[in-house]
Chain A
Amino acid sequence: NAGVTQTPKFQVLKTGQSMTLQCAQDMNHEYMSWYRQDPGMGLRLIHYSVGAGITDQGEVPNGYNVSRSTTEDFPLRLLSAAPSQTSVYFCASSRLARDHYEQYFGPGTRLTVT
């Protein structure tokens, strides 16, 4: 299994541009999430999905869109990039392990918005 994969690894955007961060998992996990990591802030939840066709907002959803058309893929769209969206983005998928969920993280996408 490849686990959770993310592309690209690095991206530079100009303010106002749009782009999609890709995330895929081959573990047949129902739950997937997007987090952003900023210095001194830990990881904050952007959006999550509990299954194909179902998404919901996390702590910091503004400026991002998601969709979940298949179990495997969960892309994150930046509609109009802003410098405040400069961050490292992590995708995660979750499996139920007895009485709790375990999250598996991708390697991250480092995004810079100028």
Chain B
Amino acid sequence: GDSVTQMEGPVTLSEEAFLTINCTYTATGYPSLFWYVQYPGEGLQLLLKATKADDKGSNKGFEATYRKETTSFHLEKGSVQVSDSAVYFCALSEGSGYALNFGKGTSLLVTP
């Protein structure tokens, strides 16, 4: 079945550091890929998405490129801020697509 694997955290970075959170997936077809962010005490918010190979999703300085050849969708940001501290989830949807398969989440802590 479909699955998502993302790097385990927690990840601790200093402000203005470069961020990469790795995400790889297994799917039988051509899934849509998503990154969701969960701030402390809140629900999940869609951060960015890509629906086909080589698409790049971007939002709030975060980027991720859909790489079919490596089945990856790594999240990157050039300069993190303290306000980026949150849990990040990689997810995919396939077929009808209204339900998501999530990775286990990566906790990010950015220190001043």
Number of interface residues of A (CB under 8 A): 26
B67 at the interface (CB under 8 A from A): no
Q: Check if A102 sits within 8 Å of B105, measured CB to CB.
A: no
A82 at the interface (CB under 8 A from B): no
A75 at the interface (CB under 8 A from B): no
- In the assembly, what is the distance between CA of A104 and CA of B36, in Å? 10
Q: Check if A48 sits within 8 Å of B98, measured CB to CB.
A: yes
- In the assembly, what is the distance between CA of A58 and CA of B36, in Å? 20
B61 at the interface (CB under 8 A from A): no
B residues less than 8 Å from A33 (CB atoms): 98-99
A85 at the interface (CB under 8 A from B): no
B residues less than 8 Å from A31 (CB atoms): 98
Is chain B's binding surface mostly helix, strand, loop or mixed? loop
A94 at the interface (CB under 8 A from B): yes
Q: Check if B100 sits within 8 Å of A105, measured CB to CB.
A: no
A27 at the interface (CB under 8 A from B): no
Known contacts A41-B104, A42-B104, A100-B32, A90 near B49 by CB under 8 Å: no
Q: Check if B98 sits within 8 Å of A42, measured CB to CB.
A: no
B29 at the interface (CB under 8 A from A): no
Complex interface bits, B83-107 against A, C-beta within 8 A gives 1, otherwise 0: 0000001000100111110111100
A53 at the interface (CB under 8 A from B): no
Known contacts A42-B89, A107-B43, A101 near B97 by CB under 8 Å: yes
Q: Check if B93 sits within 8 Å of A101, measured CB to CB.
A: yes
Known contacts A40-B104, A100-B51, A106 near B99 by CB under 8 Å: no
Q: Residue on A with the closest CB to B44? A: A105
B residues less than 8 Å from A94 (CB atoms): 98
Q: Check if A105 sits within 8 Å of B45, measured CB to CB.
A: yes
Q: Report A's interface with B, CB cutoff 8 A.
A: 4, 31, 33, 35, 40-45, 48, 50, 58, 90, 94, 98-108
5 A-B Cβ contacts within 8 A?
A42-B4, A43-B100, A101-B98, A103-B98, A108-B43
Q: Report B's interface with A, CB cutoff 8 A.
A: 4, 32, 36, 42-46, 49, 51-52, 89, 93, 96-100, 102-105
